[in-house]
Amino acid sequence: MRRVNRDQLTALAVLAPSLVLLAIFVYGFIARTAYTSLTDWGRDPSQALAANPVIRYIGFANYKDLFTGFLDARFRQDLVSALFFTVFFLAGCLLIGLLLALMLDRNPRGEGFFRTVFLFPMSLSFIVTGTIWAWMLQPSGGVNRLSPLVGLPAGQFEWLTSRTSIWQFDWNRLPLVTALVVAAVLVWVAVTAYREGARTRGHVAVACAALLALWALTGGVTVKLLPYPEPHGFNLAFVGIILAAVWQMAGYTMALYLAGLRGIPEELREAARVDGASERQVYTRVIFPLLAPITLSAMIILGHISLKIFDLVFAMAGPDNTQTDVPALLMYITAFRGNQFAKGAAIGVVLLVMVAAVIVPYLASTFRREART
Amino acid sequence: MTTTSTSPAVRARRGFHTRRWLLTLLTYLITAVFLFPLAWMILAAFKTEAQAFATPPVVLFTPTLDNFHRAWGAYLPALTNSLVAALGSTLLAFVLGLPAAFALAVYPTRRAQGVLTWMLSTKFMPAVGVIVPLFLLFRNLHLLDTLPGLILMYTTMNLPLVVWMMHSYLTEIPAAIYEAAKVDGASVGQEFFRIALPLSMPGISATALLALIFAWNEVFFALNLTSSAAAPLSVFIGQFKTSQGLFWAQLSAAATLTVLPVLVFGWIAQRQLIRGLSFGAVK
């Protein structure tokens, strides 16, 4: 009995330094950031860098500015950009990763070599790949010069500086759009719940969806965040950055899918074939459904990388290219160039909440799964 | 009997062969696309500036080492900083994390899984969420632009990874081995140094490689916490680009030198890299 207690003490003693370090440096500092974001630090430039700055608590004013302030339109565009970037980056990685995995799975000759080639970009730092790609995507050289090789006119696209923005929408519509999207998701939740026979869950989801839709139709249409329309859309200057990011991470997705494909026993495919499934049906009915959990994991891991993305954009377009700005970059500029520490902290917190919304459910479910086994 | 029409089986096989051939061709094409950016950079490193800028691109040229010579002077301090920061932080992360992982693996309490998940959660948190207080703390402690500061930060960054990965390696050691040692009167320390450490060496080297790569590639903290004296390679490449944006051949040489170790390490530690990035999504 004493042995057990001493063991537990030893265990606690060796765990403590790690736990304390992480608790302070991650969650302690996050709490500190959250507090800083509620102050006016940096609003008065003379106080920003003072040795003992006068810092006042001003509540959520920084957040209000970010979402509805006249001067912070750049932040709102960054949020929209981050979402578009995430969608295309995810789609590109998943699609190309799956194709590469299927390719290697069907034709395993030389698999080791090809896997290494597809994976190697992953081990490079974003700053180096960003540098290479920035060079390749120069308007007057690189990729734009590839088309003359096959007899076409040289490309004219300004990969990283294009000012064209597509799929624009008015920022004032954001609450409405959000409400409708959430309502749609809730309807989907309800449908799956009913199908699984979980009636209570279905009823709750339907009720919430109905409430949201009701609000959207009554209040949501007229709500105004800004006194004027403010269009935000997908900046085409991001296309090049998405290309580079997909190039870097597609191999990783491939590795995940390949591991998944290898985990599907051959008997399962054989059984499907014996039952008369065509080769296409073997994939759509047997293999792809079995890969769904991998797709989810990949989406979460890649999604949180793309929301946090900083280095790739920094290396490819620099911090001052407003066309390719992302929240992390704006936070860097606001806090460390503009000395607006409180507003920078607020941007950090917004980003943190977005990442946490993706990661926390995932970690919780992993935890539950691990605890069960 | 000679048949002009081939049997369905033969036709199917022939179709299979054509498909397979096409698939192989496609694989090689994609391989070329994947290698192209890196190959282009390495080629540019051996060109003169004029050749590097030429359109259409110069393919045949006499390689020159001038770029490496010119980049070397500024590269060396950054390389030293990167090496010290990566090695120092990896070592420190192991000193702290290995005993912790051992404790969690060998004396599993009901909370072990919770502790691991909690540690892991810190790895996902965006750096922008901590950078403001971190910067101020470092300023007050005079840790800005110093290697100890950078090592401290990278240790925090790699610690959850080390604990998580080493925990999974250490749990693979059969409990019977520890039981036997206990019967022979081994202390906890002896169990750790005599059993866990030697038996998990492959895991340690794989995890160490991973931690080294992550520290080597890190940009955000380096950019915010260092400026010149302690600037590692990532910052050096970033600054090189903004300050001397037009010297592409020289930049390529510096970048080539920067990625070389990672290419080798990354090749050795492929599987760990996937595992480290996925946190239990794949095992």
- Is 70 exceeded by the pLDDT of residue B55? no
pLDDT bin (cut points 50, 70, 90) of residue B1 is very low
CB pairs under 8 A between A and B: 267
**pLDDT attached to residue B242:** 59
**Of residues A69, A81, A68, A42, the one with CA closest to residue A321:** A81
Closest residue to A133, CB basis, from B37, B114, B238: B37
Higher pLDDT, A11 or B15: A11
What is the 8-class DSSP label of residue A57?
B
Mean pLDDT of chain B: 83
pLDDT in tens, B141-171: 999 999 999 999 999 999 999 998 899 888 8
Question: Domains, chain A, ranges and CATH?
Answer: 37-164+236-372 (1.10.3720.10)
| B167 Cα distance to chain centroid | 19
**Of residues A69, A265, A251, the one with CA closest to residue B273:** A251
pLDDT in tens, A56-113: 888 898 898 888 888 888 999 999 999 999 999 999 999 999 999 988 888 777 788 8
Cβ within 8 Å of residue B42, ≥6 positions away: B252, B256
- Using a CB–CB cutoff of 8 Å, tell me whether B41 touches chain A: yes
* Cβ-based contacts of A366 with chain B (< 8 Å): 117, 279-280
**pLDDT attached to residue B53:** 73
Inspect the interface and report whether the beta carbons of B122 and A335 lie closer than 8 Å: no
Output the six-digit token pair for A30. Answer: 């996050």
**Of residues A81, A75, A86, A88, the one with CA closest to residue A350:** A75
Over residues B199-209, mean pLDDT = 89
Strands (E), A1-41: none
Question: Can you tell me which residue has the tokens 């069907």?
Answer: A106
Query: Under a CB-based contact definition with an 8 Å cutoff, are residues B82 and B99 in contact?
Result: no
pLDDT bin (cut points 50, 70, 90) of residue B14 is low
**pLDDT attached to residue A78:** 92
**pLDDT attached to residue B70:** 80
**pLDDT attached to residue B241:** 65
Query: Under a CB-based contact definition with an 8 Å cutoff, are residues A326 and A81 in contact?
Result: yes
Domain layout of chain B by residue ranges: 8-45, 66-281
A contact test, residue of B128, B163, B212 with most A CBs within 10 A: B128
Interatomic CA distance for residues A254 and A114, integer angstroms: 11
Q: pLDDT digit of tens for each residue in chain A (373 aa)?
A: 445 567 778 888 888 999 999 999 999 999 999 999 999 888 877 777 776 777 888 889 889 888 888 888 899 999 999 999 999 999 999 999 999 998 888 877 778 888 888 888 888 888 888 888 888 888 776 777 777 767 777 777 778 878 888 888 888 888 888 888 888 988 998 888 888 888 888 888 889 888 888 888 887 777 777 878 888 888 888 999 999 999 999 999 999 999 889 888 888 888 888 888 888 888 888 888 889 888 988 998 899 899 999 989 988 888 888 888 999 999 999 988 888 889 999 999 999 999 988 888 888 887 777 666 5
pTM recorded for the entire structure: 0.87
For domain B66-281, give the CATH number: 1.10.3720.10
Question: What is the ipTM score, two decimals?
Answer: 0.84
**pLDDT attached to residue A372:** 65
**pLDDT attached to residue B222:** 92
- DSSP 3-state of B250: helix
Over residues B235-246, mean pLDDT = 70
Question: Can you tell me which residue has the tokens 């397979």?
Answer: B20
Residue B185, number of CB atoms within 10 A of its CB: 7
Planar angle of CA A244, B274, B104, nearest 5 degrees:
140
pLDDT in tens, B100-127: 999 888 876 667 888 888 888 888 888 8
| B123 Cα distance to chain centroid | 15
Backbone angles phi, psi at A169, to 5 degrees: -140, 160
- Using a CB–CB cutoff of 8 Å, tell me whether B5 touches chain A: no
**pLDDT attached to residue B246:** 66
* Cβ-based contacts of A100 with chain B (< 8 Å): 30
Interatomic CA distance for residues B157 and B151, integer angstroms: 10
What is the 8-class DSSP label of residue B272?
H
Interatomic CA distance for residues B118 and B115, integer angstroms: 5
Distance from CA of A304 to the nearest CA of B (A): 8
Backbone angles phi, psi at A234, to 5 degrees: -90, 115
- Using a CB–CB cutoff of 8 Å, tell me whether B77 touches chain A: no
Closest residue to A123, CB basis, from B20, B266, B280: B266
- Is 50 exceeded by the pLDDT of residue B3? no
